């Protein structure tokens, strides 16, 4: 082989790997890459004390949305404490927590669940922009800001009403900004927008019913190599959409009568979805998908079903955290229960996995860490000063935890 060619080839290969590694450090949407909740960041501590808190910042309002990260910028949404009907998109320095900018948005007050917030939908971001999906009595509105906080575009998508408010987050997939709206009245829909200008690329009309849906879709690569977004809803059960074309690839009617809040859990070709009400999960469906044909994989039963938290998969296992703080570790292949124990106080936050360890947060402000294995192995526990509803984020060796009043940056 020509030595000069080999040198150039190795250089470009190395640059490609570096770009992939750099990209992997970003946490660009709810639960990170693919909304799967996984990070391989080896620099995030698994045992947390006061020494590991790099900085903490008092927030100017409330919100249960998660932070997202691009480069040295943290983006998050906040509902103002002082001015009702005012929301902010904020940018903070990942290194110091110092506020970079604050973009102000106003909205009409609307009915929602007493534990919900007007800033519950997590934004998403790319190298150029940060994207937010707001709901109000006027409907759903998508907004794009550049990384300096300047509005790039704004687009109204349609009407929306759900008695508990909303929480589904926008995602970037297949070159589109995808936003799903499953309300209780009027037309429901899923849309794909051009991230550069907000122009609508495709739209799928969806049924509405008296439950709505609050879950964020999860990415999956099908057996034919196609990237799919997996949605869950009471009206349609489990739906796979090609985010590039906006075509429905397959659908499974789960026969749900309850509300979908937590998102799908995906392990290979196995997909778990649950629905519930009140304080827990009441229904579930587990399918195995081959060649765009879903079939029932196994029955989960009622014990330990989650309602609000989204579960997580790892190495052929799925970990389901229910609303009482009990986690069930199952085999994705056949549903076999490896263990079922209380691991944290009652949660609204969803667990994430960092380097083979599960991080769980409770409403009371606990952050408990355990090994992601088929045997229960607690690692550490830390208690914050106030409660946590938001799901943590990970970027560049930092764990970002949003409590009711603050955001914390934790690192070694």
| Count of CA atoms in the C-beta half-sphere (13 A) of 73 | 21
pLDDT of res. 24: 47
Q: How far apart are CA 76 and CA 357, in angstroms?
A: 25
Q: How far apart are CA 218 and CA 236, in angstroms?
A: 16
The Cα angle at residue 307 between residues 377 and 115, in degrees rounded to 5 = 105
pLDDT 10s digit of each residue in the chain, 412 long? 443 433 333 333 333 333 343 344 689 999 999 999 999 999 999 999 999 999 999 999 988 899 999 999 999 999 888 878 889 999 999 999 999 999 998 877 777 767 766 778 899 999 999 999 988 777 889 999 999 999 999 999 987 766 666 667 999 999 999 998 776 677 888 999 999 999 999 999 988 877 767 789 999 999 999 999 999 999 999 999 999 999 999 999 999 999 899 999 999 999 999 999 987 999 999 999 999 999 999 999 999 999 999 999 999 999 999 999 999 999 999 999 999 999 999 999 999 999 999 999 999 999 999 999 999 999 999 999 999 999 999 999 999 999 999 999 999 9
Q: How many Å separate Cα 235 from the centre of its chain? A: 21
Residues in a beta bridge with 276: 259, 281
Alpha helices in 146-282 (DSSP H): none
CA–centroid distance for 396 within its chain: 19
The single residue listed with the structure tokens 């799928």 is: 204
Distance CA 208, CA 337 (A): 35
In angstroms, the CA 107 to CA 404 distance is 21
Burial 170-198 (b: 16+ CB within 10 A, else e): bbbbbebbbbbbbbbeeebbbbbbebeeb
Identify the H or E element spanning 11: helix 3-24
Q: Which CATH class is domain 26-410?
A: mainly beta
HSE-CB at 261 with a 13 A cutoff on CA atoms is: 26
Give me the residues paired with residue 340 across strands: 328
Kindly give, in sequence order, each residue whose CB lies less than 8 Å from that of residue 17, ignoring residues fewer than 6 positions away: none
- Structure-token pair, residue 294: 């879903």
Cross-strand bridge partners of residue 60: none
* φ and ψ of 56, to 5 deg: -140, 140
First to last CA, the chain: 45
The count of other CB atoms within 10 Å of the CB of residue 95 is: 13
C-alpha 137/C-alpha 289 separation (Å) is 38
């Amino acid at each position: 082989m020509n030595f000069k060619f080999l040198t150039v080839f190795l250089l470009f290969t190395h640059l490609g790997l570096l770009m992939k590694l750099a990209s992997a450090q970003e946490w660009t949407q709810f639960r990170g890459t693919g909304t799967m909740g996984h990070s391989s960041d080896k620099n995030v501590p698994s045992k947390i004390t006061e020494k590991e808190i790099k900085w903490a910042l008092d927030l100017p309002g409330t919100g249960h949305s998660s932070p997202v990260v691009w480069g040295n910028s943290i983006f998050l949404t906040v509902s103002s404490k002082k001015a009702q009907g005012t929301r902010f998109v904020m940018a903070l320095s990942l290194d110091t927590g110092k506020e970079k900018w604050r973009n102000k948005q106003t909205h009409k007050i609307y009915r929602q669940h007493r534990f919900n917030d007007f800033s519950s939908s997590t934004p998403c971001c790319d190298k150029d922009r940060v994207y937010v999906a707001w709901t109000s009595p006027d409907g759903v509105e998508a907004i794009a800001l550049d990384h300096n906080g300047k509005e790039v575009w704004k687009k109204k998508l349609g009407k929306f009403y759900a008695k508990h408010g909303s929480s589904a987050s926008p995602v970037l997939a297949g070159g589109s900004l995808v936003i799903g709206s499953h309300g209780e009245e009027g037309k429901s829909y899923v849309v794909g927008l051009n991230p550069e200008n907000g122009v609508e690329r495709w739209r799928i009309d969806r049924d509405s019913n008296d439950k709505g849906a609050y879950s964020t879709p999860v990415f999956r690569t099908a057996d034919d190599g196609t990237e799919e977004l997996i949605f869950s809803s009471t009206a349609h059960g489990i739906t796979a959409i090609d985010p590039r074309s906006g075509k429905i690839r397959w659908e499974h009617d789960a026969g749900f009568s309850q509300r979908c809040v937590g998102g799908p859990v995906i392990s290979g070709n196995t997909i778990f979805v649950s629905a519930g009400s009140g304080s827990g999960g009441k229904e579930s469906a587990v399918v195995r998908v081959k060649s765009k044909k879903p079939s029932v994989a196994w029955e989960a039963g009622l014990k330990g079903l989650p309602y609000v938290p989204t579960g997580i998969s790892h190495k052929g296992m799925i970990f389901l955290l229910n609303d009482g703080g009990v986690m069930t570790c199952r085999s994705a292949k056949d549903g076999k229960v490896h263990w079922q124990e209380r691991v944290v106080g009652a949660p609204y936050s969803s667990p994430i996995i960092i380097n083979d360890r599960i991080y769980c947060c409770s409403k009371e402000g606990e952050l408990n860490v355990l090994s992601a294995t088929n045997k229960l192995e607690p690692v550490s526990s830390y208690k914050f000063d106030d409660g946590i509803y938001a799901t943590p984020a990970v970027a560049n060796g930092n764990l970002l935890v949003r409590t009711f009043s603050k955001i914390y940056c934790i690192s070694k």
